[in-house]
Amino acid sequence: MAALVVRPSGPLEGTVTVSGAKNSVLKLLAATVLAPGRYHLHNVPEIADVAWMGDLLVAMGMTTSRPAPGQLVVDSPAELLPEAPYELVEKMRASIVVLGPLLARFGRARVSLPGGDDFGSRPIDMHLDALRSLGASIELVHGFVEARAERLRGARLGLDFPSVGATENAMMAAVLAEGTTVIDNAAREPEIVDLAAFLNRMGAVVRGAGSSTIEIDGVHELHPVEHTLIPDRIEAATYLAAVGIAGGEITIAGARPDHMDLLVHKLGQMGMRISPCPEGLWAMAPRRLSAVDVSTLPYPGLATDYMPLLVAMLAVADGVAIVTENIFSGRFRYVDELVRMGADVRTDGHHAIVRGRQWLSGAPVRAHDIRAGAAVVLAGLRAQGETTVSEAHHIDRGYERFVEKLRGLGADVDRV
C-alpha cells in the first residue's frame, strides 16, 4: 500500500497548477445520464474518485475514454441500467447523486444506500424528501433506495439545511420534470453553479444557482455537451496551507480567487499575504502564522473540506485557536494523527482547541480521508525528522499528482 514520506524542506517557491474541481466533475458525470450522446469534459483531474465514477457509468452501460490529458469523453447510450451497486456507492458517497437524474430520465432508479464514513453519520433523508416532493415513490429495500415516478412534477422544495448533495439531486431530477421547481435554502457552492451551467448548456432551464433559491423549468429532453470544469478550490487551498505551514512564496495557477474569498480573508488574518494575479493566486507567508478562530459553514462560509488544512496550519501557528466544525460532527477523528506528531489539539464535540507549537515531530501516521490525509502531509513539512503517511490511497481519491506538485514547490515529499 502506498505511503508518503515527508521531511521539512524550508520555504516553498514556484508555481503550482490547480486541477479541475473533484466535487464538480463527479456531479457533471452523474448528469450525463440525463441525455444520450457524447459528452466532452475538459480540465478533468486524474484522481481515483473520477475513475470510480467512470466505473459506475460503465456499470450502467455507458463508455468513457481519456483521449488526452485532462479530457474525458462519455458516451451515454439510449438505454441504461438505472442502478448503482453497493460496492461503488460505498466507496464513494458522492455517487448517490445519480439517483435524481436516473429517476428523471428512466422513471425508476435503484441506488445502494451509502454507509457511514470517517466523517460520522451521513444521512440522505433530504435527498429522498426532495424527490418525494417531486412525486417519486421511494422505498428502502435490502439496503437499496428504489425510486419510481411516471414523470416527476415540479414543486416547491424547502431544504432543512443547504445540503450540497440534496440540492444537486433535486436539480438533476427537476430539469426533466413537468412544470417548475423552486428549491428554497439551496446550497450556493461554486460547484452548484458549475452544475447549473452544465445543465443549461444541455438545454435545461435553471435560474438562480449560486443563490439560496434555485428555479427550474422542466423540459422534455436534453442534449449532450462540451464543458470545461471550474478549478478545484479545495486543492488550491491545500497549496495555500502548504506555504502557510512551510513558509515561502508561491503562485497557484488556475485558481479562482472569487471562489475562495473568506478563506483568503482568514489566511490574511493569520499573517499570509494573498492576492489575485494574472495566473490565479499569489501567496506568501512572510513569518510564522498567528492563530485565529475558525468555524465551518455552508458556502460562502469556510468549507468543511478546508478544516483539516486549517487545523494543520494552526497546529504550528503562534497562539491558541478555537475551531468549530458545523457540517460533519464526526470530522475530527484524524486529529489523533496530528497529536501523534506532537500537535496540541483537544476536541470536544464539534469544537477543537489548537495550541500552536513551533515545530511538530515526524511520526508514522495514517491518512483518514482525502483532506485529512493532505493535512498530515502538510504538517510533516514542519515536523522535525520524517513523517510517514500510510494509506495514501485516500489522498489519491482527490489530488492529482500531489507528490509531484508539492515537489515542484520544493517540498521534500516521496511516495514509497
In angstroms, what is the minimal distance from the CB of 353 to ligand UD1? 22
Contact 101/173 with Cβ under 8 angstroms? yes
Annotated catalytic residue: which of 75, 117, 318, 336? 117
In angstroms, what is the minimal distance from the CB of 87 to ligand UD1? 19
3-state secondary structure of 135: coil
Stretch that binds ligand UD1, among 121-129, 171-179, 224-232, 382-390 (CB under 6 A): 121-129
116 counts as binding ligand UD1 under rule CB under 6 A: no
Q: Is-catalytic flag, 49?
A: no
Contact 210/188 with Cβ under 8 angstroms? yes
Stretch that binds ligand UD1, among 123-131, 132-140, 220-228, 342-350 (CB under 6 A): 123-131
In the shown chain, the binding pattern of residues 305 to 344 toward ligand UD1, with x for contact by CB under 6 A and - for none, equals: x---------------------xx----------------
Instruction: Please state the φ and ψ torsions of residue 185, each to the nearest 5 degrees.
Output: 60, 40
Q: What is the DSSP string of 376-403?
A: HHHHHTTEES-EEEE-THHHHTT-TTHH
In angstroms, what is the minimal distance from the CB of 253 to ligand UD1? 22
Nearer to ligand UD1, 161 or 359 (CB): 161
In angstroms, what is the minimal distance from the CB of 102 to ligand UD1? 17
Spell out the SS3 assignment of 335-367.
Answer: HHHHHHCCCEEEEECCEEEEECCCCEECCEEEC
Place of cell 520524517: 386
Q: Note the residue count of the chain.
A: 416
96 counts as binding ligand UD1 under rule CB under 6 A: no
- Separation between Cα atoms, residue 258 and residue 96, nearest integer Å: 29
In angstroms, what is the minimal distance from the CB of 84 to ligand UD1? 16
For residue 226, list its beta bridge partners.
40
Nearer to ligand UD1, 43 or 163 (CB): 163
In angstroms, what is the minimal distance from the CB of 184 to ligand UD1? 15
Nearer to ligand UD1, 16 or 187 (CB): 187
Stretch that binds ligand UD1, among 158-166, 208-216, 242-250, 376-384 (CB under 6 A): 158-166
Nearer to ligand UD1, 96 or 206 (CB): 96
Number of residues that bind ligand UD1 (CB under 6 A): 20
Stretch that binds ligand UD1, among 43-51, 52-60, 148-156, 160-168 (CB under 6 A): 160-168
Identify the residue among 76, 185, 251, 304 touching ligand UD1 (CB under 6 A): 304
126 counts as binding ligand UD1 under rule CB under 6 A: yes
Nearer to ligand UD1, 377 or 409 (CB): 377
165 counts as binding ligand UD1 under rule CB under 6 A: yes
For residue 239, list its beta bridge partners.
none
Place of cell 462519455: 74
161 counts as binding ligand UD1 under rule CB under 6 A: yes
Q: How wide is the angle at C-alpha 404 spanned by C-alphas 403 and 405, nearest 5°? A: 95
- Separation between Cα atoms, residue 195 and residue 392, nearest integer Å: 29
Identify the residue among 26, 33, 124, 289 touching ligand UD1 (CB under 6 A): 124
253-273 b/e with 16+ CB inside 10 Å = b? bbbbbebbeebbebbeebbbe
Contact partners, residue 252, CB within 8 Å, separation at least 6:
15, 16, 17, 18, 236, 239, 240, 279, 280, 281, 282, 283
In angstroms, what is the minimal distance from the CB of 24 to ligand UD1? 10
Pick out residues in 194-223 that bind ligand UD1 (CB under 6 A).
none
125 counts as binding ligand UD1 under rule CB under 6 A: yes
In angstroms, what is the minimal distance from the CB of 261 to ligand UD1? 15
Stretch that binds ligand UD1, among 219-227, 251-259, 296-304, 360-368 (CB under 6 A): 296-304
For 296, the grid coordinates are: 465551518
User: In this structure, what DSSP letter does residue 61 have?
Assistant: T
Q: Is 197 left (phi over 0), alpha (psi -120 to 50) or beta?
A: alpha
- Separation between Cα atoms, residue 365 and residue 338, nearest integer Å: 8
23 counts as binding ligand UD1 under rule CB under 6 A: yes
Catalytic residues: 117
Which residues make up the interface to ligand UD1 (CB under 6 A)?
23, 122-127, 161, 163-166, 187, 189, 298, 303-305, 327-328
